[in-house]
Amino acid sequence: DAKTTQPPSMDCAEGRAANLPCNHSTISGNEYVYWYRQIHSQGPQYIIHGLKNNETNEMASLIITEDRKSSTLILPHATLRDTAVYYCIGYYNNNDMRFGAGTRLTVKP
Amino acid sequence: GAVVSQHPSRVICKSGTSVKIECRSLDFQATTMFWYRQFPKQSLMLMATSNEGSKATYEQGVEKDKFLINHASLTLSTLTVASAHPEDSSFYICSAVRTGGLTEAFFGQGTRLTVV
């Protein structure tokens, strides 16, 4: 698994874009970058994943740098319900999936 | 998206008893399932990797005789906490990996275990 580094916490104003960075400089060539979030006392929720290209779905966008050493998760219009801990993980097939400390995002009114 | 059902969501048991937690993938087959525990305000800690039909692989420091994992089918893995003690109280979470095409891992809703 790639070791990932994320800021411990971030704040974002409601309605604004939330940009969550992740450093994964040790990611291997076949590992995808996955993003999950965990709202208090629930199981993690899948958000998005990608390999090289930028990805977008109904929840978020994922921007991966060309060298794949870092990525940014973008929540385009954050709401109060997006307050959660966000985890970035490097993962491939059936390797072990380990979580780092994540970023606690607080969306404020 | 794919659904992983974890049961029970909460359990309170007496010290010395055993508790079984089930993890089911409802609409896909999962060769691999992961078990985690999480203490308050901490990240998820991987306990073991469970592969269908074979013995689980435990992380260093996790007692395999205390945390018994069985993955007898492609849709069900169980974690049994044997002779539970108060220090085993925690939030336990499973995930199931869907393969075929793009690999994705989906998580159960977690089990809050309290040992009294």
pLDDT at A54 over 90: yes
Q: Are B39 and B58 in contact (CB under 8 A)?
A: no
Are A96 and B112 within 8 A, CB to CB? no
In 3-state terms, what secondary structure has residue B103? coil
Phi, psi (rounded to 5 degrees) for B6: -120, 135
Taking the Cβ of residue B112 and every Cβ of chain A, the question of whether any pair is shorter than 8 Å is answered with yes
Residue B108 one-letter amino acid: G
Closest C-alpha to A70, from A5, A8, A23:
A23
Q: Is A81 helix (H, G, I), strand (E, B) or coil?
A: helix
The CA radius of gyration of chain B, in Å to the nearest whole number, is: 13
Q: Give the pLDDT mean for A8-31.
A: 94
Q: How far apart are CA A58 and CA B12, in angstroms?
A: 38
CB contact under 8 A, B46 and A96: yes
A99/B43 touch (CB, cutoff 8 Å), yes or no: yes
The closest alpha carbon to B107, from B34, B45, B39, belongs to B34
The confidence score (pLDDT) of residue A30 equals 84
Taking an 8 Å cut-off on Cβ atoms, the answer to whether A44 and B44 are in contact is yes
Cβ(A103)–Cβ(A83) below 8 Å = no
**pLDDT of B7 over the 70 cut:** yes
Bond before A7 cis per omega within 30 degrees: no
Q: For residue B101, is pLDDT > 60?
A: no
Q: Give the model's pLDDT for residue B18.
A: 97
Closest Cα in chain A to B1 = A46
Interface test with chain B among A97, A99, A103, A104, by most B beta carbons within 10 Å:
A97
What mean pLDDT do residues A53-57 have?
93
* Contact yes or no for B34 and A97 at CB 8 A: yes
Tell me, rounded to whole angstroms, the distance of Cα A71 from its chain centroid. Answer: 8
Residue B95's H or E segment, with its range, is strand B90-98
Q: Give the minimum alpha-carbon distance from B103 to chain A in angstroms, rounded to a whole number.
A: 6
